[in-house]
Amino acid sequence: MFRLHSRNASTVKPIRVAVAGANGRMGREVVKMLVEDEAFSFVRGVSRSQAGNDVGETIGLGPIGVTFSDSLETALLEDRPDVLVDFTVPEAVKRHTEMALELGVRPVVGTTGLTEQDLTELARLSEEHRVGAVIAPNFALGAVLMMMFAARAAKYFPHVEIIEMHHDQKLDAPSGTALKTAEMIAQNRDEVQQGHPGEKETLEGARGGYRYGFRIHSIRLPGLVAHQEVIFGGPGQTFTLRHDSIHRESFMPGVKLAIQKVMELDHLVYGLEHLLKE
Ligand code: NAP
């Protein structure tokens, strides 16, 4: 277990956190945040490729005395963290979240690619075990505000399309953020026929993916991190909301909030917006 700062004796007990995907781009950022914040105690990193190595040394912090484990189950059973933060891959995240809930460890999940059915099943498991969980497709505060503002704008501008842009190593498309934005828009938007009813694609995929009656477009390029535009159109005007994460540190305040809030939950919360004060 490791913290950079010595803790004031009067402060509360730090929250013990393990990180799955700790050697990944997001996982490394989470580990840095955890070891620099005295509210947390980083107890284990999980990585299949770095087992036994010192996490700090591997990710450029210098030795911190916490090693990687290649088994999430062993980490959860032996280290007994309060919270598991997961930034891995779509194919592993459901299994990881189920395992944490079954072992009484609260999951905070940033990995995208979970389906609606996955979310329903995980919510049921969370309630059954009375173990809190937070799953958020985007932990950046600005992105969450963009989603909330988009939902409000959809009341007045039902014609809408989403363009999401990410780095070219992203595995799922469209992004979890785009799907969540679409869901929030759909809850406020009157159903309308968008575009010309006789529209025909002469190049497959040219009009993007179709969800809730409107289109989502995905761009993948090196140099990008995570960006999204929600474009509304009405007679004689367009209205664009845009958010850019230009560095992965943009997600850390949201991850920190989720770790703190999940300690008070006994059910699953999907979306950071539900943890923000109005
Ligand atoms: P990444 O750099 O590729 O890291 C993923 C890590 O997962 C890898 O380091 C890998 O570590 C591990 N992994 C790969 N396959 C695995 C498997 N089958 N089982 C267990 N672990 C496995 O990816 P990233 O950019 O950090 O993104 C991770 C996830 O977070 C993605 O789903 C992305 O969309 C999402 N994301 C979410 C947010 C948000 O705010 N919610 C923000 C950014 C990204 P080892 O090979 O060492 O095991």
For helices 116-129 and 90-102, give the axis angle rounded to 10 degrees. Answer: 10
Global pTM? Answer: 0.89
Mutate to test the pocket of ligand 1, among 88, 135, 179 (most ligand atoms within 8 A of CB): 88
Does ligand 1 come within 6 angstroms of the Cβ of 174? no
Residue nearest to atom 3 of ligand 1 (CA): 24
* Amino acid letter, 216: I
170 is catalytic: yes
Does ligand 1 come within 6 angstroms of the Cβ of 69? no
Does ligand 1 come within 6 angstroms of the Cβ of 25? yes
Instruction: Give the pLDDT of residue 9.
Output: 46
- Contact indicator for 117, 51 with CB cutoff of 8 Å: no
Does ligand 1 come within 6 angstroms of the Cβ of 112? yes
Q: How far, in Å, from the CA of 202 to the mean position of ligand 1? A: 35
| Predicted confidence pLDDT, tens digits, the chain (278 residues) | 555 444 444 568 999 999 999 999 999 999 999 999 999 999 999 999 999 999 999 999 999 999 999 999 999 999 999 999 999 999 999 999 999 999 999 999 999 999 999 999 999 999 999 999 999 999 999 999 999 999 999 999 999 999 999 999 999 999 999 999 999 999 999 989 999 999 999 999 999 999 999 999 999 999 999 999 999 999 999 999 999 999 999 999 999 999 999 999 999 999 999 999 76
Q: Look up residue 275 and give its DSSP letter.
A: G
Q: Look up residue 83 and give its DSSP letter.
A: E
Instruction: Give the pLDDT of residue 71.
Output: 97
Q: What are the start-end ranges of the E strands in 49-195? A: 68-69, 83-86, 106-109, 133-135, 159-166
96 is catalytic: no
Which of 166, 217, 243, 256 is the catalytic position?
166
Task: Report the DSSP beta bridge partners of residue 17.
Answer: 42, 83
Instruction: Give the pLDDT of residue 12.
Output: 84
